Chains A and B, each alone.
Chain A
Amino acid sequence: MKELWQSRQRHHLTQQIKYLRLVFNDHFMIALIFLFGALGVSYANALKTVTAPLWWGAPLLIIGFWALLQMGKLASLFFAADAVFLQPQEANMQAYVRGAWRYSHVLPLIILTFLGLLAAPFAIQGAGLTIIQWASFLVALLLLKSADLSVQSMALFVGQSENNTRWYWFSQLINIASLALTIYLPNYVAIGGAVLALIWEIQANRRAQQIAQKGRIDWLPAIAQEERRQFRIYRFYNLFTDVPGMVASAKRRKYLDIFLPRQSLSPQHTFTYLYTRGFLRGTEYLGLFLRLTVIGAVILYFVNTWWLAALVAALFIYLIGFQLLPFAGQYQNNVMTFLYPVTKRTQRQAFLHLLTILLGLTWLVFLIPTCWRLGFSTLTFAATGISLLILIAFIVVYAPRRIDKIQ
């Protein structure tokens, strides 16, 4: 079973690398560099204004990192077919589960360490912690994540679900307690919090191994959980590229029906009918559109240079448009869509129409913080004019070509 885990892990890693290369494409990297640069500068500036420790610094760190601990699920890499093919092996899965447990550490530990180091200036300057306290905090954090993965691995086995709920809540209690101890205990005593985390880690790990020794895998829930986990990842990848077998899910959202256009049922409106409903009820693009528009508006609220406002607005309009483009091909693999006696041209027009409305809305929303900051002046006019030009260029020049490639 160890070999099975290793071959799956290899296969999984090649898959991830294939997709990550597509996710971190040139455009996205440029946007990320801008974003991190802007965030870094404002973080440094904000820290300079802090003179005395902030009363909310310590609670914020505890709650923030406690929330981060919840991320990073156990990657069991089970397939639906395992319920049938691995059934005879269900009592011999310890080595496999151990491999999964080990592998699931990598990403969360890297991210937690990175964020922990990133938060260090704030912890020391903003919250007034000592280096010993913050180091204990970080050590405790990593141990608690490891314990969390042990607790998650217990849930894979038959008859553990009730037991596991108890372990889960108890572990949340320990999480908060040890993180708080490292921060609120004085200097060297703070190490006690990390020691508590260590004891808990050993305990959870031992228990997990005991269960794995005797237990049988509870296939259906374990597979369902792994599918949900992978679905979340692939949904993200799907924003950048086509993930095969990605089934879009939908929510009814009846309250959004008021935004549906009232059109006659005729061939030229067919794809508008489909795209508008798909956009408003799908689980991918509406959320993306709203998030990016809100983030853009918030950033613009802090920008008081006209050319920077133009740049940020144009960048966000481009980003949103770029991320929405794959939606043009959402129904491409549907044979019924293929059979509709509607021309490609009409379909493309329908998508461009939707794109124009959405980006236009974003542009209008961006007007509010820009006018707020810069007033009703020539500069505001210039800034919003530039982003409008980019919007038009995107829809008239860039998008049609990309859509032709997608459809």
Chain B
Amino acid sequence: MTDVRHDRRGYQSVFGRPNREWVCGCRETAGPCATGPDSSGHCGARHDCQTINENGRWRCTRPESAGGTCPEGPAPDGACSQPVGECLPVRTRRAVRNRTVLWTMVTMIGVLALLFGGRWEGGGPAFGPLSSVHSGIEVCVACHPSSSSRELSWIPTAFAPKSPEDHNAACIACHDVGPNGGRAHLVPPETLQRLTTNAAERRASEKDVRSPVIPAPDFANRDIACATCHSEHQGRDYDLVAMTDERCQACHIQRIEGLGASHPEFTEFPGQRQQSILFDHATHYRIHIPEKFMAVTIPCNLCHQTQGDGRDMGTTSFEKSCDACHGPEVNGKDATTSGKGIPFLSLPALDLETLRKAGVAVDGWPAAADGVLTPFMVALLSGESGNRELLDRTADLDLGALKDVSKEGIAAVDGLLRAIERLALDLRASGAKTVDDRLSISRIRKGNPPLPGMLVAGLTQTVVDVFIRTSLPHLAPQGNTETGTLTAETWKPSGGWFVEGYTLYYRPVGHNDVFSRAWFEYLARFGRKKSPEALAEAIDLFRYEEIPGKCAKCHATRQFGPGADFRGWGPRNPAGGELRFTDFSHNRHLHPVAIRNEGVENCRICHKLAEGDGFAEWYVDPEQTPYQSNFVPIPKERCAVCHDGNQVVDRCTRCHAYHVRPVSPAGSNHR
């Protein structure tokens, strides 16, 4: 074969010129000429050679490779005597390749112009279809407001800086995500900061902490775009809310291998927080629930039922669960006559002799009065100009023993008595308007205060008249001298106002009584600043005194302490805006199989009562005793029995909700 190659050498042309655009078209027939085509692709050969004039004689210059000097030689005028035929030059391979590139790009530009030149609908030519839940959206600008669907007008937006708020605006236009829509977990920034700081402190002492190769953006301090997790244009069947454990752990860097492995223990779950309803489960479960109930039903069901979609375990109503035992406490049926009402206006015991000697006008004030200033009186008196000082100056005085009191003190008492008289007369004259004027309720702009009429709960002029004629007869209008006979038993046994002795009482009509509720809410929400002593006394009154109502016995008065807020009357309402990171469905876990497997009632499989009387001790002395739940935390092994990754998945999002508040479906945020 070597010979074959050797033999071929004689056929190779001298001029290759592969980098030119054109080559001679004769190379496949007679062989390429020595001249070759010009740069425009025209044949450059006319003769075999370019003759040269040397000393007046024309000489042939045909090269040896083309046959050498021709025998005829140049003509007398110097023309070559060997004319050659004109050929059609052909492009070189390199030129053909370049033209192919050029035409491919022209074609591609044409295709792109066809694709993007017109108006778009749906995902347009460049993006995939939307998920089924968003498939009704037909125009791009619905979600990309900064990008118009007009021809190529979206190009400038590619260079415009956009913040997560800009991106989220279109989502929030349809979905109600609350006031913190741009924050991670929809949590307020300060809360997120606090949680992050707490987590960082805990993390410092934990060993299962990994350092991510690529850290997540600092979402604790900046907004997060919805599309970070909810990626659209992935097709009709794409799961928009799918979330891997790894993505959770981009921020939560404590390594969690599984629920049963390295997941933290449930030290505070559930029920380790102080509840708004102070209910001692241990006492009720062990002592008060009759045996007959235990035999026929799960005792927890007496008071608890799942709510809504079955996720949350709520409580039944007071009437259904509590009224049988606690109803008489509320409406005073089981109280003595004097304890059937809540003292509203009451005349304090006075040292009339000393006051009279000091020149104080106390004619008409009953010597037998033995009451105290009720919290309602304190609150109403405080609302009159100048009374605040009087109340402060008389706060430490025993009004029944004023012998050793200074003249200034006697003057203060005098002023207080006049204030009480004015209060009684104002109530008689104006009723609810007096309350409104003195408590400035109409001027309260935030906090949804109770209506003034609710704070006097149907108190009529007649009732106040009776109180004045009985207790302060010197203030009574002349003429009608008849004293009232409205008592607890004879006038309104089912609730309402009555006068007993020198006190105007209100008897609650039952649970959720309008008067009790209105005053309790007013004092809880607004009393801390305006009448702190009235608030404290009202709490004692509603809790400890032997009077009906007993609101504070069960409704969390401890939340009224310094720095705390009033959170309403009812038990925890999961749908009421509380931040929830856990998405546990009671209904899903109340499966009969669980009952059969354990052989005990369903709830107590997980909720086990704590040993000891920690809750009761805290209830009696909340200031000195730390809060202790009635229940021990659920051991995570209890959950991991099923959530082991095999029987039931143990992914983060199986139990944890990313959004701590419900995100409304599309359309609910339309105004």
A, B assembled together? no
Residues on B lying within 8 angstroms of A by beta carbon are none
